[in-house]
Structure 1
């Protein structure tokens, strides 16, 4: 019996997420990190929730707190971890889960990452848009000659595009794609993550990571280019690289599927990654920890998923 674990990215956090999540040392400091007395109440304000400085720290902290509680139960039940990966900022939590960095450092890096990305967007505001119902190759054809690029590849007909805001950039590309029959959904993020607009942020984050005491992973870890991470240097390079380069999540899912897990568990708010997995690899069950009311429910589902 085994499970692959994927950590959610930004955009699906909500006040009722992970209802079974208990308090631990990291959760006890989350309010002070974010400057609010109650993080769940704060998430009820959409403007507050979408700010990088809030979202990236919250996603990393809650993801790692949930992982800490799940991991001990998996060990007790002799359930193996087939692989770990993280979607966008979720890669920080994945690295911590795999032993590359401590949880405290992951939360610190999440705050730095958000700051660098916000600074990069001050000179040119950007955004992201999910595009489905049209082949990725057709999306690329529309993007030729524009300042918009593919930020994330989720599937053969599912991508996220990113670029500058305004009528002559992201808005114009959305209109062109919609005219071709695509469904376009603007995401609740305030920067064009994983695009060249974030180049200065990637460089700054790389510099911050260069002096960090990272370690080789103790679990099978995959970066956003779908590469198996074997060393601390590879993890360091991957965390910086993904900020201004396309996340190849479709290939990450393929790499995890090739390892033959009994099931896949998403950790974070919402069920976006579980749904993407079900679309691409329906023979391997996937659910999000956010769907369960109790931790016992999470573990019982994993145990039932064994062939």
Structure 2
């Protein structure tokens, strides 16, 4: 079975999507529609902006979503996913790819999500850190013993887990996790503590937007971040998408489950090659490919 996977925040780069805009009429039309929906020319920031422009959450999230989704749409008949998944923000791209959400509704939700998350980040300074070379159980145990807000946020692949929390919580956790044997504990340059209880204000805001959006029955299952399981029921997809903001991204388990359910190859659609690397960490022999630019 062909699995298609979609990247999340951090995969952006200046110039992303420009080749699509210049070579495909359909892509150009969709990008212009996006500029209209968002109320600003995101294409200018994507094609000619600065790294700083693209790092703003309100720009990053729609930019990565647009790059992934428009790429998938330009593949035409060649694009036939049998299972999909996305990393955090990438789950929205996956839901447009499998027909759960329309392009317009997906973009509106991603934009609302980004703005809500940015607002939550400004309410309380917070951050994230990557923990390398330690088993998940030890990281979970150490986080649970700290009085500050600090939780496992992204289970990326075996030996790589991102934690999320208050500035103080992350500082204490990094020290304790190094003492516990982590090879590295690297603070990340992010706007805040994504996938932690500190995103609760954003979750409440997004829940209302998701409830008011039409979700259709998808053409194939989406393996969702919250439970790493295949889902096709629109009501359940909505519930899991809301929960995703304050819950960890269970990506290691997602890949394990997709492989167990018959995935024969993983194709990453969108900027970067991060997810292909994560798949290889789970199963070295798994066939992976990436589509990150216009396919003539």
Normalising to structure 2: TM-score of the pair?
A: 0.88
Structure 2 distance, partners of 1:164, 1:42, is 34
The correspondence of residues 259-278 of structure 1 with structure 2, limited to 5 A, is 259-278=261-280
Structure 1 distance, partners of 2:135, 2:7, is 24
Residue 281 of structure 1, aligned match among 273, 280, 283? 283
The correspondence of residues 1-307 of structure 1 with structure 2, limited to 5 A, is 2-17=1-16, 20-21=19-20, 22=24, 23-31=27-35, 33=38, 34-35=40-41, 38-43=44-49, 45-70=50-75, 72-74=76-78, 80-143=80-143, 144-145=145-146, 146-165=148-167, 168-179=168-179, 180-224=181-225, 225-290=227-292, 295=295
Structure 1 distance, partners of 2:42, 2:134, is 42
Q: How far did residue 36 of structure 1 move? A: 5.1
- Deviation per CA, 1:26-68: give whole Å up to 9, x if none: 222445634456233455x232212110011111111110111
Structure 2 distance, partners of 1:116, 1:124, is 13
- Deviation per CA, 1:116-173: give whole Å up to 9, x if none: 11222222122222211111122123212231100011233111111112xx221232
Q: How far did residue 177 of structure 1 move? A: 2.5
Further displaced range: 177-186 or 83-92: 177-186
1:283 counterpart SS class:
coil
Conserved 8 A contact 1:135-1:157: yes
Conserved 8 A contact 2:35-2:43: yes
The residue aligned with 1:299 is: none
Conserved 8 A contact 1:82-1:259: no
2:59 counterpart SS class:
helix
Conserved 8 A contact 1:31-1:38: no
Report how many aligned residue pairs link the two structures.
285
Structure 2 distance, partners of 1:259, 1:208, is 32
Gaps of 5+ in 2: none
Structure 2 distance, partners of 1:173, 1:211, is 39
Structure 2 distance, partners of 1:255, 1:19, is 35
CA RMSD of aligned residues (A): 2.1
2:85 counterpart SS class:
strand
Further displaced range: 209-218 or 4-13: 209-218
Structure 2 distance, partners of 1:281, 1:164, is 34
Q: Which runs of 4+ in 1 moved over 6 A?
A: none
- Deviation per CA, 1:181-202: give whole Å up to 9, x if none: 4323333421211111111211
Conserved 8 A contact 2:132-2:182: no
Gaps of 5+ in 1: 297-307
- Deviation per CA, 1:221-259: give whole Å up to 9, x if none: 111121221211111111111000011111111121123
Normalising to structure 1: TM-score of the pair?
A: 0.85
Conserved 8 A contact 1:85-1:94: yes
1:65 counterpart SS class:
helix
Q: 1:16 to 1:286 in 2, by over 3 A?
A: farther
Q: 1:155 to 1:37 in 2, by over 3 A?
A: closer
